[in-house]
Amino acid sequence: MKEIKIHDKIFVPYITFEEIEHAIKKVANTLYEQHKNDVPVFVGVLNGVIMFMSDFLKHYPGECEISFLKLKSYEGTHTTGKVEMEMEIPMDLSGRHVIILEDIVDTGNTLEALYEILNKKNVKSVKIATLLFKPDSYKKDLPINMVAISIPNRFVVGYGLDYDGLGRNLPDIYQIKLEE
Ligand code: 5GP
């Protein structure tokens, strides 16, 4: 893996696909142990979750349903702090065990918006599973039930995550290069 340039920034290799897949398998098996007697609904937060969701589902051995919603809070490499709903969950979730799949939890603003949305939907239970978590950046007290990989507070791209629209199709995760 080599350094790459996206728009004006250089990114360095950080987490390989093999490491990501290993961490995802663990999350899938742990959630299966907790939900093997019910049919959970995995709700993916678009667009960043696409690769995580697809690999997670391949490793989830039980019955499940899926749905999506779309939220937006990032412009470039910084959060705007304001979370906007771009696409509602097109499914009745009342009485269901819902597990939100997130690409990354950073400040927690998006997570807070997700809890607010789901609290109005009469669900049986809500869990949050995130591929990446930046503990140094997290500002909320809300629970995050499953974290696949914790990372430092540095901008990353790849494996579904973008920098201004580009980089989502990279199979590995890259970290922004610090100025020398
Ligand atoms: P939060 O609301 O927790 O601050 O941020 C959550 C959203 O911000 C994520 O779903 C993701 O879209 C975006 N985000 C946060 N950190 C990063 C990062 O390091 N790289 C990329 N590409 N997006 C990020």
What pLDDT does residue 86 have?
A: 85
pLDDT at residue 76, rounded to an integer: 62
Beta bridge partners of 121: none
Please report the pLDDT score of residue 7 as a whole number. 97
Pairing of strands 125-133, 146-150: parallel
Prediction pTM value: 0.94
Question: pLDDT, tens digit, for every residue of 136-148?
Answer: 999 999 999 999 9
3-class state of residue 60 by DSSP: coil
pLDDT in tens, 61-89: 999 999 999 987 766 666 666 788 888 89
106 as an active site residue: the answer is yes
Tens of pLDDT, residue by residue over 16-30, are 999 999 999 999 999
Neighbours of 37 (CB within 10 A): 6
Question: How far, rounded to the nearest angstrom, does the alpha carbon of residue 76 sit from its chain's CA centroid?
Answer: 18
With 80 as the cut, is the pLDDT of residue 10 above it? yes
What distance in angstroms lies between residue 105's CA and the mean position of ligand 1's atoms? Answer: 6
46 neighbors 62 (Cβ within 8 angstroms) = no
Which among 32, 57, 33, 30 has a CA at the least distance from the CA of 43? Answer: 57
Domains of the chain by residue range: 17-154
Least confident of 32-41, 43-52, 78-87, 104-113: 78-87
Largest distance between two CA atoms of the chain? 53
Residues with CB under 6 A from ligand 1: 48, 73-74, 79, 102-111, 155-157, 161-163
CB 106 within 8 A of CB 140: no
**CATH 3.40.50.2020 describes domain 17-154:** yes
How far does the centroid of ligand 1 lie from the alpha carbon of residue 12, in Å?
A: 18
Q: Which residue among 92, 103, 106, 164 is the active-site one?
A: 106
